[in-house]
Amino acid sequence: MVFRKMKIAIHQPEFMPWLGYFHKMEMADIYVILDDVQFKKRYFENRNYIRNSSNDTKEWITIPVKTKGKYHQNISDVEISYEENWSNKILNTFILRYGENEVTTSFNNLIKDFTNLSCCNTSLLKLNLMIIGWFRKNFNIKTPLSYLSNLNINSKGSDLILDICKEMGATTYICGPSGKDYLNIKDFQDANINIEWQEFTEPNYYKNKSNLSYLSSFDFVQNFGLNCSSNFNETIML
């Protein structure tokens, strides 16, 4: 009998994730989306950084969501607020900061397609998954996705991560540096699951601009263009 090793990575469905998100996804044999955990306000689930090209700084771009009276809602239940006409604001911001080009047009068309989906155009989760799919296509990432909501797991914190690893038959868990703050490493050792700490250094892919940390991957695609999988592999997956 051949024992198959399997690496797993796990993360929330962020809005326009940074490059480290997709670096970890590409490293894994399977990537589990935490679509059934509590929404974190002022985190990266409904906002992220983009480059302000006019002064070479970074700024937040945010999806307004309904939070009043919803203190413990799951990510899957978060609704987008249309009171601020968020889609037009984002479309105009991208054009202002990056100009009208094929990348901006492609992404803005995705936003327009989402707002036309009457079945789910208020779902932050659906929007984030569509955007993650857009990046996966441009980076040619083939790692299969799985979803916490499809697993019968109700634990939290470190136990949640460990239980997902066990359920999926993982032998290695790929973890970012922040995992050192909350993972019970001994539990993973007892379960014979190795922890591989992600080592990722953000590349400076602009020749004449500052290397701003934690920018959305959108900035990378703007620099290299659509379908930039070769640039992703050469620059990110070193």
pLDDT in tens, 163-216: 999 999 999 999 998 898 899 999 999 999 999 999 999 988 887 777 899 999
Check residues 24 and 210 and name the one with the higher pLDDT: 24
CA dist 160 and 147 (Å) reads: 13
Query: In this structure, is residue 128 part of a structural domain?
Result: yes
In this prediction, residues 157-165 reach a mean pLDDT of 97
Query: In this structure, is residue 34 part of a structural domain?
Result: no
137 within 8 A of 131, measured Cβ to Cβ: no
First-residue to last-residue Cα distance in the chain: 33
- Determine whether 201 is exposed, middle or buried from the number of CB atoms within 10 Å of its CB (0-12, 13-18, 19+): exposed
Query: In this structure, is residue 163 part of a structural domain?
Result: yes
Query: In this structure, is residue 1 part of a structural domain?
Result: no
Q: Which domain does 101 fall in, by range?
A: 7-23+52-235
When divided into structural domains, the chain yields a total of 1
Instruction: Specify the pLDDT at position 3.
Output: 54
Cα-based distances in Å from 124 to 27, 79, 111 = 26, 6, 12
- Which of 32, 33, 8, 11 minimizes the C-alpha distance to 21? 11
Residue at token pair 């700490």: 197
Q: Which two tokens stand for residue 13?
A: 């469905």
Q: Which two tokens stand for residue 188?
A: 């993973």
182: CB partners within 8 A, 6+ apart = 157, 158
Query: In this structure, is residue 218 part of a structural domain?
Result: yes
Query: In this structure, is residue 28 part of a structural domain?
Result: no
Instruction: Specify the pLDDT at position 96.
Output: 93
CA dist 200 and 159 (Å) reads: 25
Check residues 42 and 3 and name the one with the higher pLDDT: 42
Confidence band for 24, pLDDT divided at 50, 70 and 90 = very high
Query: Lowest mean pLDDT: which of 6-10, 69-73, 193-197, 226-230?
Result: 69-73
Q: What is the pLDDT of residues 12-23, one digit of tens each?
A: 999 999 999 999
Query: In this structure, is residue 118 part of a structural domain?
Result: yes
124 within 8 A of 45, measured Cβ to Cβ: yes
Instruction: Specify the pLDDT at position 123.
Output: 95
Query: In this structure, is residue 32 part of a structural domain?
Result: no
71: CB partners within 8 A, 6+ apart = none
- Which of 166, 174, 167 minimizes the C-alpha distance to 194? 174
User: Is it the case that residue 4 has pLDDT exceeding 80?
Assistant: no
Q: What is the pLDDT of residues 89-146, one digit of tens each?
A: 999 999 999 999 999 999 999 999 999 987 788 999 999 999 999 999 999 999 999 9
Instruction: Specify the pLDDT at position 196.
Output: 97
Instruction: Specify the pLDDT at position 118.
Output: 77
pTM: 0.95
Q: What is the pLDDT of residues 47-101, one digit of tens each?
A: 999 999 878 899 999 999 998 888 789 999 999 998 878 999 999 999 999 999 9
Instruction: Specify the pLDDT at position 209.
Output: 78
Instruction: Specify the pLDDT at position 2.
Output: 41
